[in-house]
Chains A and B, each alone.
Chain A
Amino acid sequence: MNPLSLDLAVLALGLVLVFLEAFNDGKEKAFLGWIATAGIGVIFALSFLVSPQEIVATQLVPFYTADPLAIFFKRFALGTTLIVLIIAIEFRPILSHYLPASVRNGGVAEFFALPVFTCLGLMWMASAVDFIMIFVSLELVTISFYVLVAYMRRNNPSLEAGTKYLILSALSTGFFVYGITWIFGVTGKTNLGAVGQAILSLPVENQTALLFGLALLLVGLGFKIAAVPFQLWVPDVYQGAPTPITAFLSVGSKAAGFVLLIRILDPFIKAPATSGKVQLVLVALALLSLVYGNLTAMPQLNLKRLLAYSSIAHAGYLLMALASFQNGHFKQTTVSFYLAGYLLMTLLAFLVMVVVNRVAGGDSIAHFNGLGQRAPWLAFGLTVAMLSLAGIPFTAGFMGKFFVFADAVEAHQWLLVVVGIVTVGAGFYYYLKVVRAMYWNPAKNNEPIQAGRLTQVTVGVLVFLIVALGVYPQPVLDLLK
């Protein structure tokens, strides 16, 4: 099967959803959520029939690749979207509350359709090896996020989040485009492969211009992956956005940013002239993100905000893996595996959060008090997610950290290792705070919390995957061969 057919299938699914919404004016539209979920699920399953094809990149369409990394992140995008849609179905009652009441069921359908288009953007981005293609797919993702973040029109924090995201994201996109023009100006190419060759034979006096362009690109990408010092938007946007969209941002947007980092920096770390400087920047970003993310997460009282800071911290661990590149090769498997584990545990946490929010009426950690008695299954799920985020063995999160630290030790990045250990200790504190709320603290009322059947099954599947990857990661590693 041609890898491109996956992208086209997602595009078709998105269009079908928009049409269905148009022809069902004013009627109940929950079924659109189920269609979107089922559709993405089917395409996700089909993606395992696709095998990586190197040939596409070189001959037919020079801007599109289907190498193992691209296929892996296409699956990643599909898996993320699938779970985000399930969270969105669970989130619907809250959503309706904040939408204008003038049109019955107005605006519900697009909440399921837009993530599908975002998914399409992420999938293209995974395959993009040309700056123009990268920029176009990035815009598709970002613009659909502009709408989604500010979706709850009658909720002020959501609007505030939307404005913040719009302004800062536009700014970062500006940096990114400006960086592309500088690199194009120096090398005369937009294709990454061609840029890589041009760098190798670049005259010394052009180095500064090239590095200036690269620095601008890193600003743009730093924004996407929420690395310090480009993290200012994260806490407010995460807290204000509708929870499924927060989940999507924290996983999808971050993963996309890292794919782009790997693709764009690859030519630069292969060139001896630039590789040392790139490493220095990556180490600095990693250190700042690790320290800032973990320390600021510690005093948080709101789980959504806590996960926002934790997402900065995890960007730090991922940057740590990137900074540990050796001989011009990134540790792609480590980054990809870490992101896969991050997907599972973060989305599991957001899923449980939505259910609890619906009944308990808030996202603060105190709302989770006594969850162990009110909803043992959900509490168990959230516990596994938190332990995995903290890095307890036999979870995907620990396996990811194990690989990250192994790479850093192998590359002799001792400063990163030492700081990493300290921040892991901080992480144990704030993640276990959630576990403490669920089991130590008594609840205000003991009324049980009911979750939908689909949610319960999803929690089970995610828990299983987290533990399975924590013991036997080889299947995911094989996907990248």
Chain B
Amino acid sequence: MLTLLIAIPLVAAVAILLGACAKKTALAAVAANLVLTLVLLVQNYGAPGYQATASTPLIPALGLSYSVGVDGLSLLMLLLTAIVGFAAVWVAPHPEKLERYPGLYYACLLFIIAGATGAFASLDLFFFYAFHELALIPTFLLIGIWGSGDRITAAWKVTIYLALGSFVLLIGLLALYFSIPEAARTFSIPALQTLAAAGSIPQTPWIYLTILLGFGVLISLFPFHTWAPQAYASAPAPAAMLHAGVLKKFGLYGLLRVGLPLMPQAAQHWTNLLLILLVGNILYVGLATIAQKRLDSMLGYSSVMHMGYIFLGIAAFNPIGLTGAALLIFAHGLSIAILFAITGFVRDRTGSLEFTKLGGLAKPMPFLGFTFGLAAFASVGLPGFANFPAEMSVFFGTFAHAGDGLAFSNFQVAGIAALWGLVISAVYMLRGYRAAFLGETGKRWVGLADLSFCARPAIIFLLAATMIAGFRPQLLVNLVKPTVKGILQNQTSLSAK
């Protein structure tokens, strides 16, 4: 079943490259994936342990096999992938409007979706890693061929940054693998988790640091974030939606799936470092976001900044913090996808995204103006959208770490710094919204067409998803509860020893 989920977009991509009708095939594939994911979700909702598993040994001598399976956390990620993937293909421009290689455009999108799906469904370290890398080249092509602005620099930067980050990660994972006694070595994630619970994985601090930095580059952790804003600003809208919304979350998922459960004690070693870096994400990048003069680069920076909150939840390392982090991964994925989709539509119509040139766009384009406003509110963290409960949980998780006596703990200091981030994000989002959509409508923009009716469902669909999660966060909390419990169990059983 999970293999099918990975295979559908791959087969569709190959079919498109061989000449099948691009848009219809791609839409059919992502729709099928969405339905399949929902079925999986309903079937395995709240079940403990890994479900729908399948495994084929590939290199027995190394303990390497192709194996897939899902638990609550991976279901959440698959759901995010399916929703954003569906919307991204929906809003992608009609093949006839693309000057060059229309088929390749859709094939690249499908490859990214397949890569993300594979990474989230894999239960083998090798495939978990390899599937993520599958998305690297499609991103390079999408930005390079169809990007806007300084697309050439952006494409090179994102590709080389991510390739290097991935290899650092690979070395970390290999070092982890070889630190285990020879007889027990395996790439299987469940087997590794059993080993970790039994205390058979050495908790070497520098190995965790390598893994953290590898994932950190992929997540755009400060100071390795400079690839992200540029790439997202230049990428075509569907690519930015998929990358910022889904693919970047791979690193966070990796920390929750591999980093923390396998090396909980080594992780403790670097908590203070992580706290410092994530405050850098929130405050430094946040201030940089305010300074942006274009809508697309403002969104690019904002997506980097929001990673700080997710890291905060992960650093807190308690049930409520981890749950908040998982929820925020989902919530941020949806809200940033809406924002990038709308930005893409605006760019198609105005040809420019500079704040000084835009203004009053909500008048000719009420639908885009209204939905952008909602998504901006979601991104800032207003109640009613998924981001609100998620960020709340993260902050509760952070403050639960009390200091000695009256003194603040490092967590609380970082939490307070991060709370200022909320103000910062309100400042730039509202300023951006005002500059682009409110105020006097420029003469050039008076006759602009609003979003066509056939493109609207994609935006409404994403908004509905984030609002459902916002009003009923419990649905998602129950989904990831068993996973979070598992992660923390390893920690407590290890500390007991």
Taking beta carbons and an 8 Å cutoff, which residues of A are in contact with B? 372-373, 380, 387, 390, 392-394, 398, 402, 405-406, 409-410, 417, 421-422, 424-425, 428-429, 432, 435-436, 439-440, 471-474, 477
Assuming the A-B contacts A373-B100, A440-B144, are A402 and B137 also in contact, with contact meaning beta carbons closer than 8 angstroms in the complex? no
Residues A474 and B171 in contact, CB atoms below 8 Å apart: no
Q: A439–B145 contact, CB under 8 A?
A: yes
Chain B: interface size category: 35 or more
| Residue B420 interfacial (CB < 8 Å) | no
Q: Does B101 contact A (CB under 8 A)?
A: yes
Instruction: Report the Cα distance A382→B66, complex, angstroms.
Output: 27
A-B contact pairs, 20 of them (CB 8 A): A372-B104, A373-B101, A380-B17, A392-B133, A393-B131, A393-B133, A402-B126, A405-B167, A405-B171, A405-B174, A425-B163, A425-B164, A428-B159, A429-B156, A432-B140, A432-B159, A439-B104, A440-B152, A471-B58, A471-B66
Does B175 lie at the interface of the complex (its beta carbon under 8 Å from any beta carbon of A)? Answer: yes
Task: Select which of A380, A392, A421 is within 8 A of B168 by beta carbon.
Answer: A421
A405 to B126, CA, bound (A): 13
Bound-state CA distance A409–B169 (Å) is 13
Is A409 in contact with B133, judged by CB distance below 8 angstroms? no
Within B30-75, the residues touching A (CB, 8 Å) are 58-62, 66
Q: Tell me if B423 is interfacial: C-beta within 8 Å of chain A.
A: no
Digitize B117-134: 1 where CB-to-A-CB distance is under 8 Å, 0 elsewhere. 000000000100111011
A425 CB → nearest B CB, Å? 4
Contacts of B61 in A (CB 8 A): 477
Interface residues of B: mostly helix, strand, loop or mixed? helix
Q: Tell me which residues across on chain A come within 8 A of B160, comparing CB atoms.
A: 425, 428-429
* Cα of A472 to Cα of B66 in the assembled complex, Å: 10
Given contacts A393-B133, A439-B144, A473-B59, contact A424 B164 (CB under 8 A): yes
B290 within 8 A of A: no
- Asked whether any CB of chain A lies closer than 8 Å to the CB of B178, the reply is yes
User: Contacts A394-B130, A405-B174, A425-B163; is A372 near B101 (CB within 8 Å)?
Assistant: yes
Q: How far is the CA of A436 from the CA of B164 in the complex (A)?
A: 19
CB pair A474–B58 under 8 Å, yes or no, is: yes
**Is B133 a contact of A417 with CB atoms below 8 Å?**
no
B168 in contact with A406 (CB, 8 Å): no
The 3 closest A-B pairs by CB, nearest first: A393-B130, A425-B164, A393-B133
Which chain B residues lie closer than 8 Å to A477 at the CB level? 59, 61
A440 proximity list for chain B (CB < 8 A): 144-145, 152
Tell me if A424 and B178 are in contact (CB < 8 A).
Answer: no
Q: Apart from A394-B134, A436-B144, what 17 extra A-B contacts exist at CB < 8 Å?
A: A372-B101, A373-B101, A392-B137, A393-B131, A393-B134, A402-B126, A409-B171, A409-B174, A417-B171, A421-B164, A422-B164, A428-B159, A428-B163, A432-B140, A439-B145, A440-B145, A477-B59
Specify which chain B residues have a CB less than 8 angstroms from the CB of A436 in the assembled complex: 144
Query: Is B170 interfacial (CB-CB < 8 Å)?
Result: yes
Q: Chain B contacts of A473 at CB under 8 A?
A: 58-59
Q: Are A439 and B178 in contact (CB under 8 A)?
A: no
Across the interface, which residues of A come within 8 angstroms of B168, CB to CB? 421
Docked Cα-Cα span, A421 to B217, in Å, equals 14
Asked if A474 contacts B59 (CB within 8 A), the reply is yes
Tell me, in angstroms, the Cα distance from A471 to B58 when the chains sit together.
Answer: 8
Is residue B2 contacting chain A, with contact meaning CB distance below 8 A? no
User: How far, in angstroms, from A471 to B163 measured CA to CA in the complex?
Assistant: 19
Q: Which residues does B use to contact A, with CB under 8 Å?
A: 17, 58-62, 66, 100-101, 104, 126, 129-131, 133-134, 136-137, 140-141, 144-145, 152, 156, 159-160, 163-164, 167-168, 170-171, 174-175, 177-178
A405 to chain B, nearest CB (A): 6
Query: Which residue in A372, A392, A422 is a CB contact (below 8 Å) of B136?
Result: A392
Chain A residue nearest to B131 in the complex (CB):
A393
Which residues of A sit under 8 angstroms from B167, Cβ to Cβ? 405, 421, 424-425
A428 to B152: give the CA distance in the assembly, Å.
15
Residues of B within 8 A of A398 (CB): 130, 133
| Contact status A410-B164, CB under 8 Å | no
Residues of A within 8 A of B152 (CB): 440
B164's nearest neighbour on chain A, judged by CB, is A425
Partner among B66, B164, B170 whose Cβ is within 8 Å of the Cβ of A405: B170
**A372 vs B102: C-alpha distance in the bound complex, in angstroms?**
12
> In the complex the two chains form, what is the Cα distance from A387 to B174 in whole Å?
22
Please pick, from A424, A432, A439, the residue contacting B101 in the complex, using a CB distance under 8 A: A439
Cα separation A474 to B164 with both chains bound (whole Å): 27
Q: How far is the CA of A428 from the CA of B133 in the complex (A)?
A: 13
Cα distance A440–B143 when bound, in Å?
A: 10
Contacts of B171 in A (CB 8 A): 405, 409, 417, 421
Contacts of A380 in B (CB 8 A): 17
Alpha-carbon separation in the docked complex, A425 to B217 (Å): 14
Nearest CB in chain A: distance from B415 CB, A: 35
User: In the complex, A440→B153 CA distance in Å?
Assistant: 13
- A131 to B171 Cα, complex, angstroms: 39
Write the nearest CB–CB distance from A370 to chain B, whole angstroms. 9
Q: Is the CB of A409 within 8 A of B129?
A: no
**Which chain A residues border B133 with CB–CB below 8 Å?**
392-393, 398
CB nearest neighbor in A for B62: A406
CB distance from B148 to the nearest CB of A (A): 14
Which A residue's beta carbon lies closest to that of B136?
Answer: A392
Q: Would you call A387 and B137 a contact (CB within 8 A)? A: yes
Assembly CA distance A415 to B47 (angstroms): 45
- B187, chain A: closest CB distance, angstroms: 11
A429 vs B101: C-alpha distance when bound (angstroms): 23
Minimum C-beta distance from B155 to chain A (A)? 8
Q: Which listed residue (B66, B131, B145, B163) contacts A424, Cβ 8 A?
A: B163
A3–B177 Cα distance when bound, in Å, is 39
Chain A residues whose C-beta falls within 8 Å of the C-beta of B131 in the assembled complex: 393
Bound complex: CA of A72 vs CA of B171, how far in Å? 29
Instruction: Report Cα–Cα, A109/B137, bound state, in Å.
Output: 42
B101 / chain A contacts, CB cutoff of 8 Å: 372-373, 439
Question: Which residues of chain A are near B136, meaning CB under 8 Å?
Answer: 392
- Tell me the bound Cα distance from A52 to B60 in angstroms: 23
In the bound complex, how far is the Cα of B144 from the Cα of A402, in angstroms?
28
Q: In the bound complex, how far is the Cα of B158 from the Cα of A432, in angstroms? A: 13
Query: How near does chain B come to A358, taking the closest CB pair, in angstroms?
Result: 24
- Nearest-neighbor residue (CB-CB) of B141 within chain A: A439
Chain B residues within an 8 Å CB radius of A406: 62, 174, 177-178
Inside 8 A of A405's CB, which chain B residues have their CB?
Answer: 167, 170-171, 174
Report the minimal beta-carbon distance from B163 to chain A, rounded to whole angstroms.
4
- Complex Cα gap A432–B160 (Å): 10
Give complex CA distance A189, B66 in Å.
49
From A402, A410, A422, A435, contact of B170 by CB (8 A): A402
User: Which chain A positions have C-beta within 8 A of B100?
Assistant: 373
Q: In chain B, what residue has the closest Cβ to A429?
A: B160
Complex Cα spacing A387 to B160, Å? 13
The chain B residue with its CB closest to the CB of A411 is B178
Q: What separation, in Å, do the CA atoms of A197 and B306 have in the docked complex?
A: 65
CA distance A204 to B72 in the complex (A): 65
Q: Which residues of the other chain, A, contact B60 by a CB distance below 8 angstroms?
A: 474
Collect the chain B residues with CB atoms within 8 Å of residue A421's CB: 164, 167-168, 171
Distance of A425 Cα from B60 Cα, bound (Å) = 30
Give the docked Cα–Cα distance between A387 and B140 (Å): 12
- B229 to A: closest C-beta gap in Å: 20
The smallest beta-carbon distance between B332 and chain A, in angstroms, is: 26
A406 to B172, CA, bound (A): 11
Most chain B C-beta atoms within 10 Å of own C-beta, residue among A372, A428, A429: A428
Which residues in B have their C-beta under 8 angstroms from that of A474?
A: 58-60
For A417, the chain B residues whose CB sits under 8 A away are 171
Set of chain A residues within 8 Å of B174, measured between Cβ atoms: 405-406, 409
A311–B17 alpha-carbon span in the complex (Å): 31
- Whether A472 contacts B58 by the Cβ 8 Å rule is yes
A417 and B104 CA atoms in complex are apart in Å by 35
Separation of A69 and B476 alpha carbons in the complex (Å):
55
